[in-house]
Structure 1
Amino acid sequence: MTRRTVRIAMNGVTGRMGYHQHLVRSLLAIRAEGGLDLGDGEVLWPEPVLVGRREPALRAIAERHGLTHWTTELDAVLTDGTDHSCDIYFDAQATSARVAALERAIAAGRHVYTEKPTATDLVSALALARRADAAGIRHGVVQDKIFLPGLRKLKRLVDGGFFGEVLSVRGEFGYWVFEGDWQPAQRPSWNYRSEDGGGITIDMFPHWEYVLHELFARVTSVSAHITTHVPRRWDEHGTPYTATADDAAYAVFELADGTVAQINSSWAVRVMRDELVEFQVDGTHGSAVAGLRRCRVQHRSTTPKPVWNPDLPGTESFRDQWQEIPDNAEFENGFKAQWELFLRHVALGEPYRWDLLAGARGVQLAELGRRSSAEGRRVDVPELVL
């Protein structure tokens, strides 16, 4: 076996997502398997270079996992010939810091892979995509939801024609994020400050764009109501602050194939469903409910005939009338699966469509969703081109 090393600058690994999903469960998991098999006797070995602002935290992570390369200087990983120079730049920082760092990486000729949203506004997101194309580098955006077991099963149903004509999609996402006074919040305080790139719309609408686009069709219009339900929160130091960013977004999306999608996103809702996110798809031939891992179906041939009678207690167990879709495969961590595809794209030039333009579509949908809410009207979503 021939081992080819690829050095990956990982900016933002001191955060929850960057550390757990991208470093530990993706790149370190690939290393634990002996590297990524490229075929023909060649293995790709990812070598993380940890980047961040907090030197003690970086050193602790490196020591914990036996890594030797870390730095607090971004330029050290973007300059050829330094001890920390990299081939790929990955960004999992707070959104407000992302554009400037990606611009520097692109200008240095590094391949880039980044969390979403790629920017907080469409102009900046499109500029990144154009610069990356002009630089001739390979670029990708994390779009993890479509790699989850539940949505992969749902995609299997779509591709197999299970639904007949798809009529509608209904999505519910969210959970109660504690305010931070009497219980610590589960999300960082910057998520609730618009000046720091926070807000559930810019966080979740990019997800909904690629989920709808990949599974059904392109979003052609949006009608949204966006609000801040909890205006006062407490930060990591117990200091109260005003939440300037939205914590709930209720939206109707029209798709190019005529499907109507309604998706509620909220950090101020208590969960009464099986998973933190669920999508119900209804079609002429059948329906499905998919979450992160599970997917259940009801075909038209087995659909019962409920009768509305509010004067009598219900006797039917509606959940029991649905059939579980089997795994039929071993599903890897969704972040790891996409990392492997991007690494093969860089190493072998294999096709990869989740690029910075795809990331810009998500930013566009969030921006137009905010406009729809502010103006109280339905807004068209034009197709993006570079």
Structure 2
Amino acid sequence: MRIVMNGVTGRMGYRQHLVRSILAIRDDGGVLRPDGTRLQVEPVIVGRNREKLTEIARKHDIETVHTDLDAALAEDDAPVYFDSLVTSERKKTILRAIAAGKHVYTEKPTAESVAEGEELVEAARAAGIVNGVVHDKIYLPGLIKLKRLIDSGFFGRILSVRGEFGYWVFEGDLTPAQRPSWNYRAQDGGGIVLDMYCHWNYVLEHLFGGVEAVMTKAVTHIPQRWDEKGEPYEATADDAAYGIFELAGGVIAQINSSWAVRVDRKELVEFQVDGTHGSAVAGLFGCRVQHRVRTPMPVWNPDLPTDQDFRAQWEQVPDNQEFGNGFRAQWEQFLLDVDAGRPHPYDFASGVRGLKLVDAALRSNAEGIRVELSGGAR
């Protein structure tokens, strides 16, 4: 199965999707089908910079390179199109791929607005193609372990979720920024709410229940940054967001997202889940638990330093299975769905639900209100 991959000169498209997913699958002999046979893959890479694409192709033994998207989409024996472009370019390229009859797998956000996302849903439905949106977080070891705990009833009744995500993205003056400059320009589709709330929607939906209401404060903590050429520019997009999410079943989630925070935790993202019978703290890879029968009894005393090592009172959940790269795991599922001609569970409609949460959060921030995702607010 040949795959047209657009945007592989970017950091995420190259490292996670091309190298660690498609090329890793190719080098391992393909995706294992249920009947024991294998579905082999081969990338067809497309982009604007022929020099960069040629170097990638030479380095990784990739046969076909295109700088003309229409020429790449015209390849009859390449039934899948993947999009990892900047958000502002995504809708029009996906529509071209759908018109060419390709099955489509895409990074998120799927579009810049709910209306554009719904346009993609309708186009995919009319064309009868298999479509999918990257939901990499739920394939990570830490969240797989957390889902296992939830399904086993470990927590009893889940009460609340607290998430911390982020790290310091350098401004670019003294130290080069480790994220592209467009991420911090609203006019180019940047902003942490648009980027990360699409993630938080499917994570919360998958683990705890759909988001029914949201309150968010989004800010631009760093107003000036320096781009890839060392030129200063105005950061017009939000680089931090502080949200409260009301979930189905009465669970309350609080998630802080920031590219202007220094990390004092084991992983770049961690979720603490508290329930009547136990609690857990899950990151990308690890998951620590504390059951109610092992819960200590702290006593508040501001006059004496505590003699308890609280973090040492938690236990690690064992792996109990071999975990692979989360991006590759979803790629394999999507390719098997295309091969079998069945819908992918995380489709364009799931991407639209993420965009609806983004819209609600941005409205909450702009108006200073709690917003219900059904459209009402109070």
- Is the TM-score greater than 0.5? yes
Q: Which range is displaced more, 31-40 or 150-159?
A: 31-40
1:70-123 deviation digits (Å, cap 9, x = unpaired): 101100122255xxx621000011111111100111111110000000011100
Q: Distance in 1 between matches of 2:75 and 2:80?
A: 12
Equivalences for residues 316-355 of structure 1 within 5 A: 316-350=308-342, 352-355=344-347
- With the length of structure 1 as denominator, give the TM-score of the two structures: 0.96
SS of residue in 1 equivalent to 2:112: coil
- Pairing partner for 1:96 from 62, 69, 88: 88
Whether 2:287 is the aligned partner of 1:295: answer yes
The aligned residue for residue 62 of structure 2 is 67
SS of residue in 1 equivalent to 2:132: strand
Aligned length: 375
Q: Which range is displaced more, 26-35 or 198-207?
A: 26-35
Whether 2:269 is the aligned partner of 1:277: answer yes
SS of residue in 2 equivalent to 1:125: helix
Equivalences for residues 25-64 of structure 1 within 5 A: 25-40=20-35, 42-64=37-59
The aligned residue for residue 175 of structure 2 is 183
Q: Distance in 1 between matches of 2:63 and 2:297?
A: 64
**Letter in structure 2 aligned against 1:348:** A
Q: Distance in 2 between matches of 1:366 and 1:132?
A: 22
Q: Distance in 2 between matches of 1:320 and 1:101?
A: 50
Whether 2:131 is the aligned partner of 1:139: answer yes
Q: How far did residue 126 of structure 1 move?
A: 0.9
Q: How far did residue 41 of structure 1 move?
A: 5.3
The aligned residue for residue 164 of structure 1 is 156
The aligned residue for residue 15 of structure 2 is 20
**Letter in structure 1 aligned against 2:4:** A
Equivalences for residues 211-360 of structure 1 within 5 A: 211-350=203-342, 352-360=344-352
Q: How far did residue 349 of structure 1 move?
A: 3.0
Q: How far did residue 351 of structure 1 move?
A: 5.2
- Pairing partner for 2:354 from 358, 362, 365: 362
Q: Residues 90 and 232 of structure 1: is their aligned pair in 2 closer, same or farther, counting only changes over 3 Å?
A: same
Q: How far did residue 47 of structure 1 move?
A: 1.1
**Letter in structure 1 aligned against 2:23:** L
1:166-208 deviation digits (Å, cap 9, x = unpaired): 0000000000101000000010000000111000000000000
The aligned residue for residue 71 of structure 2 is 76
SS of residue in 2 equivalent to 1:170: strand
**Letter in structure 2 aligned against 1:88:** V
1:336-376 deviation digits (Å, cap 9, x = unpaired): 00000000000013552100000111111111100100000
Q: How far did residue 142 of structure 1 move?
A: 0.3
- With the length of structure 2 as denominator, give the TM-score of the two structures: 0.98
Question: Which contiguous aligned blocks of 4+ residues in structure 1 show a shift greater than 3 angstroms?
Answer: 39-42
2:163–2:254 contact (8 Å) kept in structure 1: yes
2:2–2:79 contact (8 Å) kept in structure 1: yes
- Provide structure 2 residue ranges, at least 5 long, that are not aligned to the other structure: none
**Letter in structure 2 aligned against 1:139:** N
SS of residue in 1 equivalent to 2:4: strand
1:135-179 deviation digits (Å, cap 9, x = unpaired): 100000000000000000000000000000000000000001010
2:130–2:344 contact (8 Å) kept in structure 1: no
2:106–2:134 contact (8 Å) kept in structure 1: yes
Q: How far did residue 45 of structure 1 move?
A: 1.1
Q: How far did residue 314 of structure 1 move?
A: 1.2
Task: Output the aligned Cα RMSD.
Answer: 1.1
The aligned residue for residue 207 of structure 1 is 199
Q: Distance in 1 between matches of 2:251 and 2:133?
A: 26
